[in-house]
């Protein structure tokens, strides 16, 4: 008897999970499924919510480890390990949409009215993931002119508030990056090399006979703007963290910078796969309901495509650093590369 809790079905709480596939009626009593495919619809959404839960667990760990006052070097591989798991889950999430696409649009319509205004838009865990990762509220599209929070009960809004009061992954990354020891004079040396690089590129385009004089002038102008944006990146708001992103990316072969560089790459991959899910979900939605409005009341596919765009990017500095990365021949030489060697206890 005492070992009952160690049995497969009780350990996994299957009694709870497998008895939660009938939707509630207006009295919150189980109602029979309205269509054979309604089961698929429910199971797929529940599976996503479980994955969201695991993602919150992993991204939360990454945020905690990176947000410590002192981050031991050995913790960076641990953060990367969690993010690697996040990537694999995201890939499953993308692939899983195909399961739902085995349902035809007509079969979905047969029970769509039963959803009322229920929509993935009301997934609290999805919003928590966005907040934990660091999507700034001001970047969100106002939903019917209102904050997305209007769609959630007060108890859930309080959870969002509590999460917002804590540092998010984007912020702790930035604070951690700011502490990267960069050799004195490196930024100035980098900018001098960058000037040389831009001059070379302008010269190359000036020699391109396929361009008209007007096109050449336009290209020159764009390169000058590029030169200016790199200077701004390394001197404006967040300059210390930006410089660190560039430094780590540029000198990634040095042992001490290897894991930080992998971490930056892992964060980009996390974001890239998240955006791919958004895009893929929008494609599934257009196949399923065409261009009609969503059950949550948004414009539907148009809204979803907008959320997959640039505005919802989170780790922009990592990406910007890549725009200013120089070819190896132009990288400034470090005066003491051994400083970035293996740390020997």
Closer residue to ligand HEM in complex, CB, 40/330: 40
Q: Interface residues for ligand HEM in 157-216 (CB under 6 A)? A: none
CA distance 28 to 119: 18
CB of 102 to ligand HEM, least distance (A): 11
Closer residue to ligand HEM in complex, CB, 249/295: 295
CA distance 207 to 284: 47
- Compute how many residues bind ligand HEM; rule: CB under 6 A: 23
Regarding 132 and contact with ligand HEM (CB under 6 A), the answer is no
Report helix angle 75-100 to 38-66, nearest 10.
170
Question: CA neighbours within 13 Å on the CB side: how many for 292?
Answer: 10
Return the DSSP state at 146: B
String of contacts with ligand HEM for each residue 282-311, x by CB under 6 A = ---x--xx----xxxxx-x--xx--x----
**Contact call for residues 51 and 93 (beta carbons, < 8 A):** yes
Regarding 121 and contact with ligand HEM (CB under 6 A), the answer is yes
Which stretch, 23-31, 68-76, 190-198, 281-289, contacts ligand HEM (CB under 6 A)?
A: 281-289
Q: Which residue has the tokens 């765009």?
A: 309
CA distance 344 to 341: 9
Question: CA neighbours within 13 Å on the CB side: how many for 36?
Answer: 5
Among 40, 43, 44, 268, binds ligand HEM (CB under 6 A): 44
Regarding 45 and contact with ligand HEM (CB under 6 A), the answer is yes
**Structural Rg of the chain based on CA atoms:** 25
Q: Interface residues for ligand HEM in 79-108 (CB under 6 A)? A: 100, 108
Closer residue to ligand HEM in complex, CB, 148/197: 148
- Point out which residues pair with 24 in neighbouring strands: 30
Regarding 337 and contact with ligand HEM (CB under 6 A), the answer is no
| H or E element, residue 314 | none
CB of 20 to ligand HEM, least distance (A): 15
Binding site for ligand HEM (CB under 6 A): 44-45, 48, 100, 108, 119-121, 123, 126, 281, 285, 288-289, 294-298, 300, 303-304, 307
């Amino acid at each position: 008897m005492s070992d009952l809790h160690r049995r497969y079905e009780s350990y996994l709480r299957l009694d709870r999970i497998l008895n939660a596939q009938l939707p509630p009626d207006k009295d919150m009593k189980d109602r029979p499924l309205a269509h054979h495919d309604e089961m698929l619809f429910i199971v797929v959404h529940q599976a996503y919510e479980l994955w969201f839960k695991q993602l919150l667990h992993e991204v939360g760990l990454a945020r905690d480890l990176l947000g410590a006052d002192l981050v031991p070097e050995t913790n960076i591989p641990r953060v990367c390990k969690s993010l690697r798991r996040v990537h694999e889950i995201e890939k499953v999430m993308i692939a899983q949409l195909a399961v739902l696409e085995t349902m035809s649009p007509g079969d979905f319509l047969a029970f769509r009215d039963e959803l009322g205004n229920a929509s993935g838009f009301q997934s609290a865990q999805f919003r928590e993931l966005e907040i934990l990762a660091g999507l700034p509220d001001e970047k969100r599209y106002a939903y019917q002119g209102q904050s997305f929070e209007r769609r959630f009960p007060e108890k859930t809004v309080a959870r969002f508030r509590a999460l917002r009061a804590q540092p998010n992954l984007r912020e702790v990354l930035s604070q951690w990056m700011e502490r990267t020891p960069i050799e004195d004079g490196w930024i100035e040396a980098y900018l001098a090399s960058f000037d040389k690089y831009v001059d070379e590129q302008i010269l190359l385009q000036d020699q391109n006979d396929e361009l008209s004089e007007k096109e050449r002038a336009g290209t020159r102008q764009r390169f000058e703007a590029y030169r200016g944006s790199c200077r701004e990146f390394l001197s404006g708001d967040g300059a210390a963290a930006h410089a660190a992103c560039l430094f780590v990316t540029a000198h990634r072969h040095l042992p001490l910078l290897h894991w930080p560089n992998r971490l930056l790459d892992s964060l980009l991959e996390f974001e890239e796969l998240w955006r791919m899910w958004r895009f893929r979900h929008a494609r599934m939605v257009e196949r399923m309901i065409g261009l009609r409005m969503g059950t949550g009341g948004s414009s539907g596919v148009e809204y979803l495509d907008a959320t997959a765009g640039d505005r919802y990017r989170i780790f922009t500095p990592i990406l910007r650093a890549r725009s200013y990365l120089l070819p190896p021949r132009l990288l400034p030489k470090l005066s003491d590369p051994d400083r970035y060697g293996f740390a020997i206890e």
